[in-house]
Structure 1
């Protein structure tokens, strides 16, 4: 058997095999807070300068993915809907072509070049429903963009920037209804436990790092590891899963896996909740300057996790089409607690999704998507994006990067 045939055989084995389920201790007390914070209406809080200065620290729960304070806005009831596994020794009816497409994308990621500087540009947005007299439409608010670059070696520098993006209608239909409502430049919505007004105007880039904007001594440390240590990370998906999706995931949730606390004190997570946290964890890790083969290994590790499903091709909030993995969907119930208006109350279903570029293996987005309308999204359709973080651009270059002057839309 030649090397190509061996690689293809290995891919098929990855599709047919099913890794063991996570241990009971994989439950993390902070996941409940995380899920609540991702509920509709959460207003993001930008990480502190200290939080942005090192890639590892703000990434523990997803690099700014969580809308802060939403737990005070609504009462959440989440029910996991994990997919039951087949009986041992039972062959699958067919090869999962969606999962195969993700594995091929991972192989593409392993081929990407490196350079002297890493940079990443990310967009974040939260959905809000505007119930105007002239018609209901949806917008993205709490809209912001971040950009950072760092040299591969100590002394090459690093810098961090952010800017507010305009609140805007989500689709052409939403835009038409926004115009019918008079094209308001300030849009008032229910956010958290109060009404909040979002502007349709952007701000300029502002430094989120050192006062001078660039730290000349920066660079050379990512995830609290040197470049050499990053290069020595394993590329094997199973070893990466053990490092970042098991014990490391527990530490991300604030629970020490080496603790001697009784099991009863650990918060049990459903398969769908566990899968959700793993998607968010991998999305955060892929936003850092990991070596290409490590990135590929993480993608394959995620694709092999219990409760993670390949869902084929998906379009992200920037209109880019890619191949996607998703967690199981869950019921989310919004109650009248903290004064939530009646129109915002009710139950809907949604799931966490991660999307990759099929040609390069690059991370395109992580998005929280409606699967069954209800509650605040009763008039929306399945596929409606409730919250997202999209990577507009990321990668290595030999020239020192600069924040883009033009707006993304």
Structure 2
């Protein structure tokens, strides 16, 4: 799962100073932010699932699968109701069908792994104010650490107080509802040492919860809510898959096992060694890591084994059809975790590709990411063909 999704749940740290960390740590109340769907991009044509007879309600041939993770017995209901199918899909059968589809796909490769994603979120604070206050807190913490040097108990207490203040700052909200969305494209080089490219903050859009919210923003002087300038970064850093899996990179994903039981043992070992094991139960970690892997270039066998491993997880229930921000229909599934966080995945039933994921905290939506295109490109800056 992308770092900005779950960084909201992790302790604050000094990397709050960076703009990218600021983006990752914004909580996002996404209700009403997705009223204007974007045109659906073309996707590669693949063979459809071989679903078992009686498993899927009629009319779901072109549907997708939505997986929701929650610490509660039932997934939270979104503020804007999502259409649901009258006859829910069998979660296990659907995931096993996805495994069959994934296994039949040919192995592919390329010079760059390309991902284009559209992220929508609530604007929690004014960027300039937030970063100025964070910098002030960091400077204060540095002075405190210098003064308490050698006092381990005092340093521990000071660190705890610093994190409390940062959390308090993060939880602050504007006196009006404002929402933002932007697009990010990345070309990640598969060859170690070769530069990749990320173009972020494209097509920035700001909307308001109501005319009254927009009027309140105008009354406050119409402050700048987001940075609207696109940014391009080129570097040759070998990037990890996620903060939960620092040992996994795009370069070593091909070494992951292609058999279900072996992959489950590998994922268990990764969970045990994860720096965030204390903050994530095993079942929750598996689903979070599944999102990371679904947006990466896995071998067909590994991708198939991942779906089989998910199908074995207890507590998954079907909730029927749902619709993503591009208007594509999906089938809602839910699975419990130790947290109140709910993650929804939308998986295309013809290709077994991840189309969208969302994060909710009980009834409070936080983040929604639509994967507009993924695939291989052999030229930096060019999108995949087809």
TM-score grouping bracket, smaller chain normalisation: 0.5 to 0.7
Q: Which runs of 5+ in 1 are unaligned?
A: 1-32, 49-63, 71-78, 84-93, 131-135, 170-174, 189-195, 256-265, 333-349, 378-384, 405-409
Written as runs of structure 1 = structure 2, the 5 A alignment for 1:108-123 is 108-110=101-103, 111=105, 114-116=108-110, 117-123=112-118
Match of 1:149 in 2: 187
How far apart are 1:118 and its partner, in Å?
1.6
- What SS does structure 1 have at the residue aligned with 2:72? coil
Distance of aligned partners of 1:145 and 1:158 in 2 relative to their CA distance in 1, 3 Å threshold: same
Written as runs of structure 1 = structure 2, the 5 A alignment for 1:358-369 is 358-369=349-360
Match of 2:266 in 1: 243
Distance of aligned partners of 1:229 and 1:274 in 2 relative to their CA distance in 1, 3 Å threshold: closer
Q: Which runs of 5+ in 2 are unaligned?
A: 1-5, 29-69, 75-86, 126-174
How far apart are 1:355 and its partner, in Å?
1.7
Give CA-to-partner distance per residue, 1:272-319, whole Å, 9 cap, x none.
x54333222111122222223322322221232234444443323343
* Residue 124 in structure 1 maps to residue 104 in structure 2: no
Distance of aligned partners of 1:160 and 1:326 in 2 relative to their CA distance in 1, 3 Å threshold: same
Match of 1:391 in 2: 371
- What SS does structure 2 have at the residue aligned with 1:101? helix
Of residues 192, 196, 201, the one that matches 1:158 is 196
Root-mean-square deviation (Å): 4.8
Match of 2:232 in 1: 206
Instruction: Verify the 8 A CA contact 1:369 1:387 in the aligned structure 2.
Output: yes
Higher RCO (C-alpha under 8 Å, 6+ residues apart): 2
More helix by share: 2
Distance of aligned partners of 1:184 and 1:200 in 2 relative to their CA distance in 1, 3 Å threshold: farther
Written as runs of structure 1 = structure 2, the 5 A alignment for 1:9-408 is 36-37=9-10, 47=20, 67=25, 80-81=71-72, 97-110=90-103, 111=105, 114-116=108-110, 117-127=112-122, 140-141=179-180, 143-154=181-192, 157-163=195-201, 166-169=204-207, 178-179=210-211, 199=225, 202-207=228-233, 209-210=234-235, 215=236, 230-244=253-267, 246-255=268-277, 274-328=282-336, 351-369=342-360, 373=363, 385-402=365-382
Distance of aligned partners of 1:124 and 1:251 in 2 relative to their CA distance in 1, 3 Å threshold: farther
How far apart are 1:327 and its partner, in Å?
2.8
How far apart are 1:36 and its partner, in Å?
3.7
TM-score (norm 2): 0.52
- What SS does structure 2 have at the residue aligned with 1:145? strand
Distance of aligned partners of 1:165 and 1:387 in 2 relative to their CA distance in 1, 3 Å threshold: same
Looking at structure 2, the residues matched to 236 and 65 of structure 1 have their Cα atoms a distance apart, in angstroms, of: 37
* Equivalent residue pairs, number: 266
Distance of aligned partners of 1:137 and 1:197 in 2 relative to their CA distance in 1, 3 Å threshold: closer
TM-score (norm 1): 0.50
